[in-house]
Structure 1
Amino acid sequence: MPSDSNQPHFVLVRPQMGENIGAAARAMWNFGLDRMVLVSPRDGWPNPRAVAMASGAGRLLDEAVLATDLPEAVAGDHFVMATTARVRGLTKPVFSPEEAMRQAADRLGRGERVSVLFGPERAGLENEDVARANAIISVPVNPQFPSLNLAQCVLLCGYEWRRATQDVAATRTDMGGTEWASQIEIEKLADHYEDRLDQAGYFFPPEKAPGMQVNLRNLWSRMPLTRADVQMLHGVLRQMVRWKERG
């Protein structure tokens, strides 16, 4: 059974190669999408090549809805968007993938059913297909090479759907099994280094020692140290002192 999440239907219109259908299913499942509709697949359905290419996303193919034509595929929809890289000469709103998925999320939240159309690999959607859509999704690609592979286009829309519906951090730090060092741990590290450097005669001449100590403390405070970093730096200094004493 499809998941309970509220999401758009991705409609593959007259897809030609089973491998591309499978790759599209895999791209959808990467971003938690599992509502696939197939309109008149050229090589029939089911297609073993699609299953092989889908890898772990084979469930989407098992649950894909098969439609004989586009009107049947979108009969229950309230809003339909067509992906295309070509100028169509049709008066329609044109969305970026980002805005399109934001619009989809808003409409789905209001109880509407939304579909996104993807055309066949050779030439994309026909004008007759696009004319049935309420809006166009246009990807800002290189105008000298605008063609996108079917699965690439599905992946791009799936990614924007995820961004529109999930809190995606622009950056994060993987802690690798440790945590940030506390102020007291950094203070003890600074004391350790200051004490050993003082014994080694680093703070010279004496009149410059206070400024040098302040600069050293400032260095530690600027560094985003983890507890593992602090332990390592303590160990480095201890080993250097032992090596010096052995010498």
Structure 2
Amino acid sequence: MPEISADLRSAPSAGAPFWRLAAADFGLTGRDRDVLRRTFHDATEPDRWLPNGATYRRRAYQLFDLSVADLVLRPVPEPPPYVQSKAVNTLVGGVERRFRVIAPDHPATAPAGRIAATVARGLTAAGVLSAREVPHCLVDAHYMSISAPGSPAPEGKHRDGLIAGSAHLIERRNIKRGTGISAIYDGAEPDRVLSRFELREPLDSYVFDDERVLHHTTDIDASEPGEPAYRNVLLIGFRRHE
């Protein structure tokens, strides 16, 4: 798999704790977007780690290694289990979770990597990522499909235990307007809302400094009950090597 890098069309301001992006920022082709859409349908599997036997979430996983200095990502063929601390994930913290892996030679690797590289460039521009402090970091790509009714964030308002993260809408079908509202909260004053918005169009995205803010997305409902309804989002996380 070739190395992946990207140019950023609109850079965030230095010191920004979060910002939003749209499709034009990523430079993906129509074929790229089609590949990502199909991946959520063809390559995800039920998430067996949801509490209380819930079945509304499907997912797949991919791991990259990022050289921060040159913003080049390399896919990791056999990622280790994914683990979060109990402090940041009260539902499954401390559990070694394995998900279906998107292999380096999968067609989705290139567009997903380009999205991650674009986010990485913005994080360096904002001063969130620094090659001097973190020469290399791990980049998680979570392919998350939530069926309605369902909860994109069953853990509630939270941090992810990362350096930074981002969320990218890939496909939205039959989701009721006013549900699935995302919000960013001040990390020092968790009850203070910094921004609230709805991801509606493909590649509507947001990026956040996980050490400075918290985030949450409300539950989703179907516009037309009884018809297929889902919200497919690519979640990207930047974390330090253990």
Task: Return the TM-score normalized by structure 1.
Answer: 0.22
More helix by share: 1
More strand by share: 2
Task: Return the TM-score normalized by structure 2.
Answer: 0.22
